[in-house]
Amino acid sequence: MRVSVRMGVGIYIILAVSAFVLALGWKYFALPASSPHLFGIHFYQHVVGDLDGRSCPAYPVCSVYARQAQAAHGWLVGSWLMMDRLIHESDDLQHGTWIVFEGEKRLYDPLSRNDFWLKKE
Amino acid sequence: MKTPLFFAVAMFLVPVIVHASSHGLPQTLLESTPQAMPQSTPQEVYEQAIDMAASGHEKEAIAHLQGAAAVLSVGDIWQERMALAAMFIDMRQHQDFEPKQFDHHSTHARLAGAYLKGSARPEAKNSWLPGVLASIFPGAGHAWQGRWRDAWVAALMVWPMIILTLWAARRRMGPVTLFFAMITAWLWSGSVFSAVSLAERGAFDLYLGWWQGLWQASALPGRPW
């Protein structure tokens, strides 16, 4: 009984300290959970991307493009731009603009090429 | 209590003030101050602005060119080039075919005028039709633009979800149906967006070809693309 009470107090103190630290410095933590709409991209970049071994043929790669789109246009339009990239890549690969990046031939498809019309005055 | 605080602040501020008065502004401030125009030649200013426009900073390039053109005297060749380049970059920004306040007096402007009269302008296609087609039948908007591979991808993205939603609705699965319906709406709207975006991009590519011809015909130096 005494051990469990001590353990309970210990857990309580740990939780209190971590809550205090998080509350003080929340904006300094770049945790994926702090931006839920970026969690999927973050998960892909750091977990799935390392495992699946495939590489995106475009420059910038799709996950970076998706992050840029989300940052520039929010989650809804950003996700549409991300879908648009996945859709139009198949035809662009047949006759796209090619560049050589780090020794690899890549399809040049920056965000500005696809979102310029959203900014049109 | 207040006296030590005053001395502490004074001990920090005095060396800063003395340093600033003897050495001028701190380096960080100097770095952020824009370079004075007279230090650069008109050609350098022009080239900087063209580089800006090439990297997508069109508004800044226009401001740069217009500001420099206003400083230079009328009749100066670089003043004419800057004014014309600013006008053309503004045209590209708005996808215009007619320049504003076009002055035919300079050589560059006369050359551009000949191109404007003689060149065939690309037909501006509306982007709403692919959008409507994609809204009616997922994949149709891309197929209409001749992008058959994209059409397949768009169709494969949306149709299975439509079928899944209808299946769930038929089996009266309630919240599951709602969830599938929301995913379908998201994917379907994304495919409509993609069809419109590609139509806009195609129209801009056509315009850009015409506009690059205008720039080259006017014999303006540099390539802002």
A37 and A8 in a common domain: no
Q: Give the pLDDT band of residue B185 (cuts 50, 70, 90).
A: very high
Arithmetic mean of pLDDT over chain A: 84
**Count of residues in chain B:** 225
- Using the beta-carbon criterion (under 8 Å), do A90 and B153 form an inter-chain contact? yes
Q: Residue B134: left (phi > 0), alpha (psi -120 to 50), or beta?
A: alpha
Are residue A8 and residue A56 in the same domain, yes or no? no
Looking at the structure, tell me whether residues A45 and A22 fall in a common domain: no
Q: Given an 8 Å threshold on Cβ–Cβ distance, is A94 in contact with B194?
A: no
What's the mean pLDDT in B102-107?
76
Summarize pLDDT for B158-169 with one digit per residue, the tens: 999 999 999 999
Give the percent of chain A with pLDDT over 90. Answer: 38
> Is the minimum CB–CB distance between B143 and chain A shorter than 8 Å?
no
How many structural domains compose chain A?
Answer: 2
Q: B75, B90, B63, B110: which is closest to B220 by C-alpha?
A: B110
Token match 């439509």: residue?
B162
Q: Are residues A52 and A96 in the same domain?
A: yes
Same domain, A43 and A79: yes
Both tokens of B136, joined, read 């009616």
Using a 10 angstrom Cβ sphere, with 0-12 exposed, 13-18 middle and 19 or more buried, the burial of residue B144 is middle
| Mean pLDDT, all residues of chain B | 83
Q: Chain A within 8 Å of B216 (Cβ-Cβ)?
A: no
- Considering the domain architecture, whether residues A23 and A36 belong to the same structural domain is answered as no
What is the per-residue pLDDT across B193-219, written as a single tens digit (0 to 9) for each? Answer: 999 999 999 998 899 999 999 999 988
Whether the predicted interface score ipTM is above 0.85: no
Q: Are residues A101 and A70 in the same domain?
A: yes
Do A35 and A92 share a domain, yes or no?
yes
pLDDT band at A42 (very low <50, low <70, confident <90, very high): confident
Q: Are residues A10 and A64 in the same domain?
A: no
- The closest CB to that of A83, out of B147, B194, B201, belongs to B194
- B-chain residues within 8 Å CB-CB of A112? 56
Distance CA A10, CA A18 (A): 12
Q: Which domain holds residue A66?
A: 31-118
Statement: residue A19 has pLDDT above 90 = no
Does residue A7 or residue B18 have the better pLDDT? A7
Same domain, A51 and A100: yes
Cβ A121–B94 below 8 Å, yes or no? yes
